[in-house]
Structure 1
Amino acid sequence: MKKRSMYAMSTVMSVLLLAGCGNGNGNDTVGEGAVSPSASASASESAAAPVEPVTLNIFSSSVETAEAFNLLKKDYEATHPGVTLEIASQVTDTYYTSLKTKFAAKEMPDLFAMTGFNGMSTWVEHLEDLSNEPWVSDMVDTAKPGATFDGKLYGFPMSVMGTGYLYNKDLFAKAGIDKAPSTLTELKDAVEKLKVAGITPFVVPYGSWYNPGNFSAENPMSKQAEPDQFMADLTNGTAKFSDNAVYQDWLNNVELELANAYGNPLTVDYNGQITAFATGQGAMTTGCNCSQLLIDEITPNMNIGIMPMPINDDAELNGKISTEVPGYWVISKDSEVKEQAKEFLKWFSTDGAHYISDEFKFVPAFKSMAVDPAKLGALGTDLKTYVDEGKMLTGTKAKFPDGVTADFGASLQKLASGKIDKAQMLEEFQTAWEKASKK
């Protein structure tokens, strides 16, 4: 959603349509509903005409894509004379605080990142309606609900993201593990094999609230039989975390990680997590395919994958990846250059579409955008396999009450430090949810 672009989202069954018949740059025949090559060419010709010099300010919550954005900037400015892209990136931990500061100072960016559902609802009155843009009909169906309010669509979906354990396939092979575990028992067996081989099983990044509060805490919510109903019951007071069997099972997973972690989890922040994992200091770590670029910077062509995070021995439930649209590009309705911002999104969906998978290493959320596994990266390729096989859970964290993930992360940090026990942590989860729901 940087930390993770992300981390920040509606059932994703329709992403099976991702492998459409068009290629990333719009030169081949595109799928039904996509922007045609001729339309793309016309847009490019129009954009290339002399224009009044303008600056388009873009604020991104994905530090992983900073270098890729520099390439995109050169490409876009070369084909759009008079337009300058000013791109700033910030880790997700502090992104929204900075966005609120910019808003209060009347320094809103023209184009910026935003999570869907509850995240976007907070800002929707300040966003430009994008319902009539040409790329809307090409969006995968499940990308639309998170950005739609009162029948209007406000966001351009960044990608389809998968959350799970990133794992080192070479270290697994060294320990004699021939497949990704899909039950808690199999995960415990894998942990023991890794330890026997002298390999630390987990890199646990509790140095910041973000990873545990989003990725770990979402795991049991996505595994609910009816996540939306459970969240509604939590809000109306008819359900409790402490009474929920899935959350009780999840605590076994949390304990397993903390008992078999690299270093002190409370001192491992996102940078430390990626560095430790990319240098083989641990075989598994929680995260998403969005970390591919940062891992590549440290260890290019690393033999890695993404797998589920098992909490019990239900193989069908625990053999699935949590998937979602982690975020959207939105436009400030008060921007003085919002037409140029719309043109940028049109280009991003046609001539610039290859940046999504080839440079950002994202799985596209558009039907006509084809994916080249050789360019997408190992994590995205693994994720697409789960998507194609229908092994997906509904991502839920974008539907959490505003601010509750920070509270969840803080409670998990206290558990890791020994300040509270598991029962107390679930009580803190309950208090945080009830408080956030009343805001």
Structure 2
Amino acid sequence: MKRSKVLFSVTMLAVVGIILGACGSSGSSSKDETTVDVFNIKVETKDQLDDLAKKYEKSHEGVKINVTTVGGGQDANAALQTKFSSGDEPSIFLLGGLADMEKWSDSLADLTDTKLAKNAIEGTLAGASKDGKVYGLPMNIEGFGFLVNKELFKKAGVDIEKITSYTDFENAVKKLDSKKDSLDMKAVFGFSAKEFWVVSQYSTHFISPEFNDDLQKVYDAKTIDFKYGDVFKKYTDLINQYNVQPILSLDYSTSVEEDFANNQVAIVHQGNWIVPTLNSLDPEFTKDKLGILPLYVADSNKGKIAAGPSWYWGVNKNKDEKVLQASKDFLEWMYTDKEAMKVVTDEMEYIPAYTNFSADSISDPTSKEIFNYLSEGNVVPWMHNQYPDGYSQTQFYPEFQKYLNNDISWDELMTKSKDAWASDRK
């Protein structure tokens, strides 16, 4: 009798399960749902991108946007490679320039005829184009150089407007150092030499002018001479002398989120991507204190920052047609929908790379300053993304760290870096 009851119960549960399963299937739209997997490495704007994905899903029934963000100390390139190797390929992913475009060429869709490619500001497609075809759409324009705390400069008696040469900059650094105790500063600089990408970006200022600021020339270059190596050394020695020590242990988070945000250092080498982070800590900082100073390299009296598209959105052509089109549609919506455009400029604090945006839409003062540098032609491009594959992280960076640690001479650094470049480009 008990056995019969058990069998009856099991049978009824199975029947109910089948019925519920059938009901669930009939009411579900999962079969018709198109899923777009986005691989993002911009940790600074992860939350905003997640929110945009949710907004898009609400207004586009049947489309699911999955955002995976990897970065902030994690090796994003390795993570992306793992996704492709495992067969879990993203629908949309970021390209760092010509080298990445070449690396993923078998997976990149031709985006030449998209609305965004046609709306792109002149020159911004150069880092993801080949033979007249566009394979990546600019995520934004970002600029970097020496980001400074203008309030600390003022308190130290330094007029930031009068810094118009390397000598002026050096004198300002020394004056800040002489006042650091009264200003309760740890040091003048918070250069985070623990981060290879910071060192890589920093090198752009000194390598770009050697190749006339031409991305393709660097990408094709078989050799490098470090024509501006002497200026490179001057800036590097100045930073190392007046930096938070040990410089090799200083990471991004400590440098920006702790020391810079809390007035412990006056100068970091970063870009406008830190604005959302600073705003989350103290919105008044970016409004009243944050500024940017250029570097004087090729011309001792004409300073330049680096500015241009930092990353490009690539679309995976190996996805089925529905996913391919949905990927393009999502990117277009991000930069053409009025509500989404406000998120891009006001919340992500991006400098837009598309002509349908107005310059007045840039709310952040430092981003406006970067836009002015770009408009006036006082910029070098994001050159480090065109170096030989792996050069920045595995070859130049370790030797640069050795120099900072006084383990090798500057001449040894230059020789090893030249040889590594030549070897990579054989």
- Relative to structure 1, the CA distance from residue 104 to residue 287 in structure 2 (aligned partners, 3 Å threshold; closer, same or farther) is same
2:170 maps to 1:188: yes
Cα distance change on mapping 1:376 and 1:211 into 2, 3 Å:
same
Cα 1:273–1:229 change in 2 (3 A) is: closer
Pairing 1:330–2:317 present? no
| 1:158 and 2:145 are equivalent in the alignment | no
**Which residue of 1 is the match for residue 50 of structure 2?**
70
Aligned partners of 2:345 and 2:86: how far apart in 1?
35
Query: 1:393 maps to what in 2?
Result: 380
Asked whether 1:296 is paired with 2:279, we answer: yes
Letter in 1 for 2:115: P
Q: Could you tell me how far 1:312 is from its partner in structure 2?
A: 8.1
1:285 to 229, 243, 268: 268
Corresponding residue for 1:306? Answer: 292
Deviations 1:248-269 (A, max 9, x none): 1210100000000023211111
Q: Distance in 2 between matches of 1:117 and 1:211?
A: 20
Q: TM-score with structure 2 length normalisation?
A: 0.84
Q: State the one-letter code of the partner of 1:182.
A: T
Higher relative contact order (CA 8 A, sep 6+): 1
Partner residue of 2:160? 179
C-alpha separation between the residues in 1 aligned to 2:350 and 2:270?
A: 14
Q: 1:256 to 1:196 in 2, by over 3 A?
A: same
Contact 1:51–1:82 (CA under 8 A) maintained in structure 2: no
- Is residue 372 of structure 2 the alignment partner of residue 402 of structure 1? no
User: Retained in 1: the 8 A contact 2:190–2:267?
Assistant: yes
Cα shift at 1:387? 2.2
What's the counterpart of residue 333 of structure 2?
347
Contact residue 34 and residue 63 of structure 2 kept, 8 A: yes
Identical-pair percentage: 26
- Write the distance in 2 (CA, Å) between the matches of 1:388 and 1:231: 23
Matches within 5 A, 1:225-240: 226-228=212-214, 235-237=221-223, 240=225
Which residue among 87, 90, 96 is the counterpart of 1:106?
Answer: 87
The aligned amino acid for 1:296 is N
> How many Å apart are 1:230 and its aligned residue?
11
In the other structure, the counterpart of 1:414 is 402
| Equivalent residue number for residue 251 of structure 1 | 233
Deviation of 1:94 after TM superposition, in Å, equals 1.0
Q: Deviations over 1:96-128 (max 9, x none)?
A: 111111111111111111112122111122111
Native 8 Å contact 1:362 1:376 kept in 2? no
Q: Distance in 1 between matches of 2:384 and 2:336?
A: 30
Aligned counterpart, 1:435: 423
Which of 119, 122, 135 is the matching residue for 1:138?
Answer: 119
Structure 1 residue 151, shift from structure 2 partner: 2.6
Aligned residue number for residue 321 of structure 1: 305
Which structure has the highest helix share of the two? 2
Whole-Å separation in 2 of the counterparts to 1:313 and 1:365: 27
> 1:217/1:366 Cα in 2 relative to 1: closer, same or farther (>3 Å)?
same
Given candidates 191, 198, 209, the residue that maps to 1:211 is 198
For residue 420 of structure 1, what is the amino acid of its counterpart?
Answer: I
Kept in 1, the 8 Å contact 2:209–2:298? The answer is: no
Q: Which runs of 5+ in 1 are unaligned?
A: 1-49
TM-score using structure 1 length: 0.81
- Distance in 2 between the 1:345 and 1:66 partners? 16
1:331 Cα deviation from its structure 2 partner:
0.9
- Whether the aligned pair in 1 keeps the contact of 2:144 and 2:306 (CA below 8 Å) is yes
Q: How many residues align?
A: 382
Looking at structure 1, the residues matched to 216 and 116 of structure 2 have their Cα atoms a distance apart, in angstroms, of 34
List per-residue Cα deviations over 1:238-291 (Å, max 9, x = no partner).
x533xx2x1112101000000000232111111122122111111001111111
Retained in 2: the 8 A contact 1:278–1:295? yes
CA distance, structure 2, for counterparts of residue 252 and residue 136 of structure 1: 40
Q: Report the AA paired with residue 369 of structure 2.
A: D
SS in 1 for 2:318: coil
Distance 1:132 1:431, change over 3 A: same
Counterpart amino acid of residue 331 in structure 1: V
Contact 1:166–1:286 under 8 Å retained in 2: yes
Question: Partners of 1:362 and 1:350 in 2: how far apart?
Answer: 14
RMSD: 2.4
Q: 1:154 to 1:182 in 2, by over 3 A?
A: same
Instruction: From the CA coordinates, give the structure whose radius of gyration is larger.
Output: 2
1:358 pairs with one of 338, 346, 349: 346
Structure 1 residues 166-187: Cα deviation after superposition (integer angstroms, max 9, x where no partner) = 1111111111112253322111
What displacement does 1:211 show?
Answer: 0.8
1:367 matched to 2:347? The reply is: no
Q: Which residue of 2 aligns with 1:79?
A: 59
Q: Quick check: 1:97 aligned with 2:78?
A: yes
Q: Secondary structure at the match of 1:301?
A: helix
Distance in 2 (CA, whole Å) between partners of 1:230 and 1:350 is: 30
Shift of 1:71: 2.2
Please give the residue correspondences for 1:111-130 in structure 2 after superposition, counting only pairs within 5 Å.
111-130=92-111
Q: CA deviation at 1:234?
A: 9.4
* Aligned equivalents of 2:135, 2:52: Cα separation in 1: 23
Q: Does the C-alpha gap of structure 1 residues 334 and 230 become closer, same or farther in structure 2, counting only changes over 3 Å?
A: closer
Aligned residues of 1:185 and 1:312 also touching (Cα < 8 A)? no
Shift in Å at residue 228 of structure 1? 4.4
Encode CA deviations 1:109-157: one digit per residue, 9 max, x unaligned. Answer: 1111111212211112211111121222111121122221233211111
Alignment of 1:7-26 (within 5 A): none
Amino acid at match of 1:196: S
Farther-moved stretch of structure 1 (261-270 vs 218-227):
218-227
Distance 1:333 1:273 in 2: 40
